[in-house]
Amino acid sequence: MTASAPQSARADILVVNSQVVRGAVGGRIASFALERLGHRVWFLPTVLLPWHPGQGRGERHVADDVTFSALVDDLIGADTLSNIGAVVSGYLGSAAQAGNIARLVAAVRKDNPQALYVCDPVSGDRAGLYVAEETATALRDSLLPEADIATPNLYELEWMSGRSVTTETDAISAARSLGPARVLVTSAPAMRRNSVSNLLVSDRAAIAAEHGAIADAPNGTGDLMAALFTANLLAGQPDEAALKRSAASVFELVARSVKRGARDLLISYEQAALVQPMALVSSRRVMVAPIRA
C-alpha cells in the first residue's frame, strides 16, 4: 500500500532542471517559487553549474548516463510517487537524459493519471542554440510528444516547429504543430509596441497576456513562468486566470529586481510577487479558427 499525502496538502511537484550554486535560474528558482506557494518539491538536477553561463565561464558537471538512469530508477520506485501532481522539466545536461525523463513521467502518470507534464524545451534564444543539437532534438522528439503543456520561448518555438514566426498568427500555427494540447509561448510577437506577450495556444483558442518590456531583464524568467503556470493550474485556476497571474508575478519580479540594479531575479527579497502580484497585465482572446477534427 502506497503512502498518501495529507488531504489538506497541495500536490507535490517534480522539477527536473539545472542546478546553479549562485543565482536564481533553472531548478533553483522553480523550486523556491513552488515551495513558497505551498508545494513540496522533488528536484532532480540535470547539470550542476556555479552560476548562469551568461555571468561568466564555469565548470559544467553532468552525471554520467548510468548514474542518472539509476537515480531515475530510484524515484520510479518511491512509495510516494502518487503524490506528484505535476512534472516540470527544463534544461537537459545531455541528450540521453530525455529518455530517462520520459520514463519517469510515465511512472508518475501510472501512479497518478491526473498528473500534468509541463515541458520547458530550454535550448536557445535569439543568439541560437546553447545546447548541443542532439539535445535539442531529443527534447523535440522524446519529451514534447509526452507533454500536456510546453513552454517554449520564441526561438525555441521556431526551432522545434521548423517554422519562421514573425506574427501572432504565425506563433499560433507553429504552437499547434508541436503536439502538446497547450503551448505557452513566453516571448510571442506582441500587439503593442515595447511589450512582452505570453501566448497560450490550444486547439480551440489562443489567449495573450501582455505587459511592458523591461530592458536587461535577468535570466530565469522562463523557468519561473513554467513553474508558476503549473502551480496556478494545480490550484484550480482557469487557463486565462492562471496565465495572467503567472505573467504578473514574473513581470513584477523582473521590474523590482531591475530597479534594485540586480543581475539576478531577487526572488527571496521580492517573494510577495509570487503570492499576490500587483503588476498590471492585460489579457485578450485572439480570434483564430479552432482546429477541426
Q: What is the average per-residue pLDDT within 237-262?
A: 96
Tens of pLDDT, residue by residue over 104-147, are 999 999 999 999 999 999 999 988 999 999 999 999 999 999 99
Q: Report the percent of the chain where pLDDT is more than 70.
A: 95
Predicted local confidence at residue 4, as pLDDT: 43
What mean pLDDT value characterizes the chain? 93
Predicted local confidence at residue 67, as pLDDT: 96
Q: What is the average per-residue pLDDT within 72-89?
A: 98
Distant-in-sequence, close-in-space partners of 217: CB < 8 Å, separation ≥ 6 = 254, 258
Q: What is the average per-residue pLDDT within 84-107?
A: 98
Predicted local confidence at residue 3, as pLDDT: 44
The reply to whether the predicted model has a pTM over 0.85 is yes
DSSP per residue over the chain, as a string?
Answer: ------TTSPPEEEEEEEEESSSS-HHHHHHHHHHHTT--EEEEEEEEESS-GGG-----B---HHHHHHHHHHHHT-TTGGGEEEEEE---SSTTHHHHHHHHHHHHHHH-TT-EEEE----EETTEE-S-HHHHHHIIIIIGGG-SEE---HHHHHHHHT----SHHHHHHHHHHH-SSEEEEEEEPPSSTTEEEEEEE-SS-EEEEEEE--TTPPS-HHHHHHHHHHHHHHTT--HHHHHHHHHHHHHHHHHHHHHTT-SS--TTTTTHHHHS-----EEEEE--PPPP-
Tens of pLDDT, residue by residue over 159-203, are 999 999 999 999 999 999 999 999 999 999 998 888 999 999 999
5 pLDDT more than 60:
no
7 pLDDT more than 50:
no
What CATH number does the domain located at 12-286 have? 3.40.1190.20
Q: Which residue has the higher pLDDT, 290 or 200?
A: 200
Local confidence band at 289 (pLDDT 50, 70, 90 cut-offs): low
**What are the sequence ranges of the domains in the chain?**
12-286
Answer for the pair 274, 34: CB distance below 8 angstroms, yes or no: no
